[in-house]
Amino acid sequence: MDKILWVDDEIDLLKPHIMFLKAKGYNLATVSNGSDALDMLEAERFSLVLLDENMPGLSGLETLSRINLAHPELPVIMITKSEEENLMNQAIGNRIADYLIKPVNPNQILLSIKKNLHSGELVAAQTSSGYQQDFRVLAGEINAASSIEEWMEVYRRLVYWELKLSGTDNAMEELLLMQKRDANSNFCKFVKREYEGWVNSEEHPLMSNEIFRRRVFPILDKGEKVCFFLIDNFRLDQWKVVQPLLSEWFNMEEELYTTILPTSTQYARNAIFAGLMPLQISEMFPNLWVDEDEDEGLNIHESELIKTQLDRFRRKEQFTYNKLNDSSAGEKFLRTIKQLKDVPLNVVVMNFIDMLSHARTESKMIRELANSDAAYRSLTESWFRHSSTLDIFRRVAEMGFKVIVTTDHGTIRVDNPIKVVGDRNTNTNLRYKVGKNLNYNHKQVYEMKDPKRFGLPAPNLSSTFIYAMNEDFFSYPNNYNYYVQYYTGTFQHGGISLQEMLVPLVTLTPK
């Protein structure tokens, strides 16, 4: 039972209110002055304090300051006869939980107590009830989804409930996790049926190689300046937790687009910047394409690829390319950002994983700090808020840029190893493999035996691409125990899942 301390020099006149609260199940103790209140708080444990502002001796504000100093976690509801703004400001500045003006009726006090003591429980109960009611409807939509638009709506709903339920009800969170897995299983079957058709026909969702042509160029055509931010490993749920941080400066239009396969930097990001499928890049600009088995960096030609796309569409706009791999690069960019104010197109790549850790320790850092999707979101929000990133967006808004925020792919937390055998030239990614003599269980993967039909270059004539689905990841039999122990629970990309393939594309307009 929650115990409440009520401090008021006219406490005898409040017996009807006290009886009302006791009838509601609260245990109340009463004192008539601030000094006795402080003594009682030292002697007993209370859940909340009701504090009169106007008392002889130690005033309400003085008592509040001392309570905050000795018991900073204890919520205090201040009750006063005065409506003076200065008094309210002082009380709020001293971190009160609520502010009530006399005369107060018992229901007002009860509402404030519930808000401060039970809001989490009430919200959790209401949220759990809401998800229970939506569960059957959502299950039906998962089974019936037959278009990419329907899958996008399913994914939005799943993310909505994931954020609402996070940390509220373990039973409901487990149920949602099962539903997410069911959705991913069905989505993977859908992609296996549809993907080749998307690559080879005009009827397809917005994909990586069309982002500039269909979203960036139309803004430039209107004479507006654009800042294009590509944040690596940036999922819809991560966008949702940073969205409120930007609402002060921007109006927002949010959509999802479908990444190409593999959902990895070498393929998806290069497709965005070139405006071409990987096979076309390798054929048209072989000097700008790096094959899987080469030692050269896989994303070192991004600026040149942007230039080829602008040239191909006969666009004359000046552009800048900025890559922020760590926090110092972000701070340097912020110091020089005013130099971009007259440039029509500015592309900024943010490798937020590296910026979080200040060094290239992605696997270790993510494994230790982000052991769940909720923790991963929390890290994203913390990075966005406390690094230079938030200030960069603020300055861009002040400079009047239209902003596009997106990513080249998302990530998924993997927990199910599946065996694959390949030769020494097989790539190291855990969610897709490409090689000549791959040995695997055909039922566990999505395979592309003729990569060119899927817009992909093949390192060899007999190369096959295979993709892990759901929460699977590839492991080698000779190192099986190592892979299972080291990579289970880590965030990976390259394969097929809602989280990797349906990613945010947000247009921000300065307010």
Q: Please report, in tens digits, the pLDDT of each residue of the chain (511 residues total).
A: 689 999 999 888 889 999 999 999 899 999 999 999 999 999 999 999 999 988 888 988 899 889 988 888 898 998 887 666 565 566 555 567 888 888 888 888 888 888 888 776 656 667 777 888 888 899 999 999 999 999 999 999 999 999 988 877 667 888 899 999 999 999 999 999 999 999 999 899 999 999 999 999 999 999 999 999 999 999 999 999 999 999 999 999 999 999 999 999 999 999 999 999 999 999 999 999 987 755 455 568 999 999 999 999 999 999 999 999 888 899 999 999 999 999 999 999 998 765 554 433 355 666 677 778 998 899 899 999 988 999 999 999 999 999 999 999 999 999 999 999 988 888 889 999 999 889 999 999 999 999 999 999 988 888 999 999 999 999 988 878 887 888 888 899 999 999 999 999 999 999 9
Please calculate the CA angle 376-380-385 and round it to the nearest 5 degrees. 150
410-450: pLDDT as tens digits: 999 999 999 999 888 888 899 999 998 899 999 999 999 99
According to DSSP, residue 216 is labeled I
In angstroms, rounded to a whole number, what is the distance separating the alpha carbons of residues 120 and 420?
46
Q: Choose the final residue of a domain: 165, 200, 235.
A: 200
Q: Are residues 319 and 343 in the same domain?
A: yes
In angstroms, rounded to a whole number, what is the distance separating the alpha carbons of residues 489 and 478?
21
| Residue 360 confidence (pLDDT) | 38
Q: Are residues 349 and 254 in the same domain?
A: yes
Average model confidence (pLDDT) across the chain: 89
Q: Are residues 250 and 368 in the same domain?
A: yes
Instruction: Read off the CATH number of the domain in which 382 is found.
Output: 3.40.720.10
Number of domains forming the structure of the chain:
4
| Residue 160 confidence (pLDDT) | 94
In angstroms, rounded to a whole number, what is the distance separating the alpha carbons of residues 74 and 68?
7
- Which tokens is 401 given? 């840029």
Q: Are residues 252 and 353 in the same domain?
A: yes
Q: Are residues 253 and 368 in the same domain?
A: yes
In angstroms, rounded to a whole number, what is the distance separating the alpha carbons of residues 96 and 76?
5
Q: Are residues 144 and 10 in the same domain?
A: no
Instruction: Say if CB 425 and CB 482 are below 8 A apart.
Output: no
Q: Are residues 187 and 228 in the same domain?
A: no
234-250: pLDDT as tens digits: 999 999 999 999 999 99
| Residue 361 confidence (pLDDT) | 39
Residue ranges making up the domain that contains 372: 208-412+500-510
Q: Are residues 189 and 221 in the same domain?
A: no
Query: Quick one: which of 37, 27, 28, 35 has its CA closest to 7?
Result: 37
In angstroms, rounded to a whole number, what is the distance separating the alpha carbons of residues 303 and 262?
21
| Residue 115 confidence (pLDDT) | 82
Q: In terms of residues, how long is the chain? A: 511
Q: What is the DSSP string of 29-41?
A: EEESSHHHHHHHH
List Cβ neighbours of 217 (8 Å cut-off, separation of 6 or more).
Answer: 313, 315
Instruction: Say if CB 115 and CB 98 are below 8 A apart.
Output: yes
In angstroms, rounded to a whole number, what is the distance separating the alpha carbons of residues 142 and 159?
14
pTM assigned to the model: 0.80
Partner residues linked to 406 by β-bridges: 230, 505
| Residue 230 confidence (pLDDT) | 97
In angstroms, rounded to a whole number, what is the distance separating the alpha carbons of residues 408 and 340?
24
Q: Choose the final residue of a domain: 144, 173, 200.
A: 200
Instruction: Read off the CATH number of the domain in which 106 is found.
Output: 3.40.50.2300
Q: Are residues 444 and 327 in the same domain?
A: no
In angstroms, rounded to a whole number, what is the distance separating the alpha carbons of residues 107 and 189?
55
Q: Are residues 255 and 226 in the same domain?
A: yes
In angstroms, rounded to a whole number, what is the distance separating the alpha carbons of residues 156 and 196?
25
Q: Choose the final residue of a domain: 155, 182, 200.
A: 200
Q: Are residues 263 and 381 in the same domain?
A: yes
Q: Are residues 139 and 217 in the same domain?
A: no
Instruction: Say if CB 423 and CB 437 are below 8 A apart.
Output: yes
